[in-house]
Structure 1
Amino acid sequence: MFRILFIVPYDAIQLEVEQAVNLYKPKGMSIDLTNVIGVEDTEKLNIGIYDLIIARGITYATIKQMDPNKPIIEIGVTGFELIRAISEAKSLYNPKKIAVVGWKDMIHAVKELGNLCDMEILCQSVESDQEAKMVTGELKKQGVEVIVGGLMACNAADANGLPCVFIKTVKETIEKSVVEAINTARAIIEQQDKANLFKTIMDYSTEAIISVDKTGHITTMNKMAYRILNLPYQMELIGKSIQDVMPHSKLSEVIVSGKSEMNKVIKYQGTLLNTNIVPLEVKGDVKGAIKMFQKVTKIQEVESEIRKAIHKKGLVAKYTFDNIIGESSTVKKAIGAALKYSSVSSNILLIGETGTGKELFAQGIHQASNRKEGPFVAINCAALPENLLETELFGYVEGAFTGALKGGKVGFFELAHGGTVFLDEINEVSLSLQAKLLRVLEEKEIRRVGDDRVIPIDVRIITATNANLGEKVERGEFRRDLLYRLNVLNIKIPPLREREDDILALAEYYINKFNLKFEKHIEGIEEDARQAFMEYRWPGNIRELKNICERLVVLSEYSMITYEDFIAQVSFESEMLDIIKREPVKGKHYVQREPILNIDKLESYTILEALEKAGHNKSIAAKMLGISRSTLWRKLKEIEDND
C-alpha cells in the first residue's frame, strides 16, 4: 500500500481536505490527514513511514530539509489567494503599510500588488518560528500595521501585538494538490515496479553485470557480480570507482573508444572469466559502459545442459565403429579409413549402395572425433520435397510463408552447431538447393528462409550417395564445385555381396536380436540355408538382410531357419523358390531343383513384380523391396536400358 500524508495547513479547511480525499479515492493508496503548527511539530512527525507528503509553506520547507529525497507536493499559494488576503487586510484595517511574511515561495512577486492597493507592501521570507517572531518585531518598528501570512506568521504577529490576516487556501487548490499527489504516486509506483523488475532480472541473471557512468563510477551491480568477485553482498559499492573494485576491467577503455569488446577471456583471482563489454550510448554520446561476465566453468555447465537437451531430442549418434559387424578385409579397410578421417575436420563423402550402413559409418566418425559431445543430425535428402528440405536444413523466420510457425523454426544446421550434419542421398538434392549448400560449405554460415540475417555455424558435414556423382556432374544434374567441396575425403562402403565372410555373422546377429525382441527361440540356421544366405546377391544389402531376418524370426515355427524359410522370404511367387543353385546337405532328402532364373533376371523380375503388386506406386514398391525410392528409380532405368 502506497501511503500519503496530507498535512492540513489549518483546522478550518479540514472538512474540505477530507471531501477532496474521499472524492478521488485512489486505489492501492492510503491518505492520512494531520495538523502541525511550526517547525517543532513538523520535526516530531514520523515521515519515514510515508511514501509521499502534501504540505504548505514552512511545513513543506522543513520536511524538504529533513529528508531531501522524500517525494513532497507543495500546496502552493495562488495569486488569487494572496490578493484576497491583502484585500481583506485593507478592508479591515485600512493600513498604509503591511507586510507579507512566510515561506519564500508564498510571497514571491507580492511587492507589485502595492501600487494596485494604494499602500506599501513589504515582503519578508522566514524559515522558522523564532525567525518569524524576530522579523515581525522588526517590521513593527518599521511602521508595519498589519501582517499577512500563514499560521506561523500570524502566531508571530500576535506575539508582537500586530493584527494578522491569514492566507486561506481555496477548495480548488486543495483538490489540485490531491490530484497532483495521486498522479505523482502512480508515477512513483510505476517507476518502483520497473525498478523491481529490473532488479529481479539483474539478480537472477546467470551473468554478472556491472555498469559504470562516464567517469567510471559504479551505477549498477547485481548479485552474481558480488558472488564471482568474492565480495559480501552487504558491501555498498554503488558510486565507487570500478578500478577500486575490479582493476583492469577495460570499462574505461570502452567508454573512451565507444567500441564493444566481446568474448574476451580474462583471469581474475585464479578464475577464468568470459567477458563482454558494451558502451552505453544516448543519442550518439557515450554515457557509460556495461560489463557482463561469467565463469568459464559455468558456460561449460550450460553447454552440458544443452547437450542433455539435444540428447532428449534424439540429435545424437548412437553407434560407434564397434557396432559395425564384420571381419572381411573390405569392411576393415573402410573402417580403417574412417578412423583416420575422424581426427580431421575435412568434409567426407561416403559412397555405397542403399542399405550398406552409410549412416552407421557417419555416426562412427562423429563418435571418434573431437565433436562427439556435440549434436549428430542425420537428414535423408531423398525423403523430403525440395521446399520442405530447405526449411528443415536452414530453418525459417515467422511469416516466411503461409503456415509458418509463430516465432519461426530453427533448422538442422543451427541445431547441429558444434557437431556433425549427415546428409544421406545427397545425389537427390536439386540444383537450386545445391547452390545454398555450397554457400554453407564456403562461408560457414546459413540464412533462414525469409530472413536477411546470416548466422555463423560450426558443423562438420558428412554426405553419402548411392549414385555416381561424377556421371551426374557430366549430365548437368550435380554441381561440380559442390562435388569438389564434398569429396575432400571419401570412403567406399562395400556392398554385402563383397563381404561374403560377414553375411552369416550379420544374419546370426540379427536373428539373436529379434529373438530377444519377439521372445522367440530360434537356435540357428541350417546348413543349406546358410549356403543360400551366402549365394544370394542381397540387392538391398544389410537393410534387406535385417528385414529378412526379422521376418524369419517372426514367421518360423521351428528352432532352426531352413532353406525353405529363407527362399520364401526372398521370393514373391512360389515358382521362384529355386532362385539359388545348391547341393543338398548330406543326410537331407530335398528334391534337387534347377534355377529357373539367373540372379540378374531375378532382380529385374522381383522389382517389376513388386511394382505391379504396389499398383505402380513406387514409394510402396520401394518399401516392399527394402530399398529407397531413388534406388528403385535407378534400377527401373537400368531395366529399361537393358530391354
Structure 2
Amino acid sequence: MKAVEKKIAILAPLRSIEQLAREIVERQELNIDVEYVNENNFEEVTRKKIAEGKEIIISRGGIANRIREVSGLSVVDIEISGYDIVRILSKYVHVNKRLAFVERPEIIRNAKKVADSLDLDSKLYTVNRISEFESRFEQAMNDGIRIIVSGSWAVQYDDRYKFFEEKGIVYDVLESGEASIEEAIEKAIELYKMTVDERRKKEEFLAVINSIDEGVISLNTDMDVKTVNPAALDILGMNEENIIGKKIFEFNAGNVVKALESGINKIGKVGSIEGKEIVFNSMPILIDQENQGFVVSFQEVRKLQEIEHKVRMKLSEKGLVAKMSFKDIIGESDGIRRAINLSRNYSRVDSTILITGESGSGKEVFAQSIHNSSRRKTKPFVAVNCAALAPSLLESELFGYVEGAFTGARKKGKTGLFELAHTGTLFLDEIGEMDSVLQTRLLRAIQEKEIMKIGDDRIIPVDVRIIAATNKDLLDEVDRGEFREDLYYRLNVLRVKIPPLRERKKDIVVLAENYSDYLCGKYGFKRLVIDDEVADMFEEYRWPGNIRELQNIIERMVVFNQDNDMNDLDMKTLIIQSFEGRGRQRQEEIEIDMSRSLEDIEKQIIQRVLKEEKFNKTRTAERLGINRTTINRKLDT
C-alpha cells in the first residue's frame, strides 16, 4: 500500500482543504504528499511532483482542470457533497437576500436543489472557463445578487476579495469537507491500482508478442498500423518508426489486405508482403460485437521450412543423448583414476577409441563421458550392442535401408545409426561379437567415412567418431581368426582399460554407499548402513559381475533393510546368499604352494578359511586360534 501512496499527491487550492488533507493523511498514516497551490504556482509544483514520480494528483475545481491540461497526469477531483452545500447554505436560511452560485457545473450541480429545499432565493451562474468568472460576477451583481457562493477563485487574490467587500457583496467559499477528501483519496488509490493492473496487462501482452518468432501487426479500423513486434520488423526489414501509423495498403500485401477486408478469421493463408512469401492468420478485434480493428500474424515460408527441418532432426535425435560425464564416475583407486585421465585426454581428439573391460565394469559410462567432454558433446550419441542383434538385423540398424530392400522392410526405408550419429559419436558395445561379414562393412565405413544403405547404390558421407568396447581379448580373437586384424588396428588407435571391481578395493564401499544413498533418496527409504564386517565381506569378494553385480546386491540390501525385524545376522546371510556360487573357489581346488613364503602361505590359509566361514572374521579367528586384528594385519601384508 505504501508504494501505491507514494505515487499520489494532493494539491489543495484552498488552505482549508490543505489543512484537512494533512490531518487525514496523518491520522490514517498515509504516505501521500500534501501541498497548497494557486494559479501562480500550480504548474511549477506539478512539474516537481512529476519529477518525484507522482502519477495521480488530487485537486479541485479550476486548478484540477488546469493540472489535467498541462501535465497529462490522472487527476481525481475533490467533490463538493450535498452535505458540504447544506453546511454552507444553512447560515443564509434567515437572511433575506438573493444568493448566486458561480462555479463550474460539475461543482454546483446539486447546489440549486439544496437551496430550493431550504427556501432560499438562488440563481446559478455556470462557468466553463476561468476567464468567464469575472463576467459572471458582474452579471450576478447587476442582477441584484448580494451573496455569491463560489470556489477558490477570489480567495486566492486579496484585491478581488476586497473588491466584493467594497461592493457590499458577501463572498462565501464552497469548501469540501473531510468526507469528500477521504473519498477522493480512496478513488485515487483505486485508480492507481487499476492503472498498475492495466500497465501489467499491457506489459504481459507486449512480452508475449515480442517473444514469439511470428510477426504480429495490429491495425485500427482505418487499416493504420498500431502495434508491431520485433519479428514483424525483422521479416519486413523495417524499423518501428517507418511502419507505425502507416496504412497496410502502403506495403505490398494484396492477399493480406483482401483477407482483412473480408472481416472474418483467416487461418493458415498463403500470401506475400513486401515480396516475401508468408503464411498468415488474420482476425478482427471485436468488442461488444463491434469491429475495433484487426490483428495479423505471419511467418516467412522459408522460416517455417527451417523449423520443420529442425523438428525432424530433433525427432530423429530423440534418445540419442549421452547422459553421463566424468563427474559421475566414482572412485579414487589408481586404476580408475588412470582410466579417467587417459579418457579425458582422448576426448580432445576424434581418433577411434577401444575400451576394454569385464562385463559390468562401466564401459558405456566411459564412452558417454568421453563424448560429453569432446567437441561433439552437443551432437548425437548413438549406442548399439552388437551382441544383442542378429548379424542381418545389426547391419540394417547400422547402415539403414531403402524401401523394398528386403521382405518386411519399412515402406519408406530406415535411417541407419551411422546417419543418426552424423557429426556425433557412435558407440559399438561388445564389438567382439560382430560377425566377419559385418566387420568388413564396418572397416570400410571407418576408413572411407562413407556408407551405403542396404538396397541402395548411393554413397552417403558421414562424420562419425567411433568408440568401441569389448570384454574379450580381441588379439586372441584375431589369432583364432574370429576378428579381422585390420579392423582391430583401425579400432585400437587409442585404448582405455577399465579395471575390474576386485582391483578397486578402496572404491567398493564408496560405490556401495553412493548407490544405496541414491536408492534410499529415490524411494524415501531409511539409510542403509554398511558396517566394517560387511565392508570386509565386500572387499574379499571377487565381483565377477563388477559394478552391475554390486548394484544388484545393494538394491536387494536396501529393500530388505526396510524390514524392521531384520537384524545384522540376517543382512549378512542375505549377502552370503547373494555371493553363493559366485566368485568363490571350492576348497578342494586350492592347493598350498610350499615354495611360497610363510607370509603368503598364512595369507592363503586365512583367505580359504574366511571364505569357508562365509566371510565371518569372528568365526575365522576362532577356528585359527588368532584374533581379528591379526587376520586384518596378515591380509594387508
Q: Report the TM-score, using the length of structure 1 for normalisation.
A: 0.49
For normalisation by structure 2, the TM-score amounts to 0.49
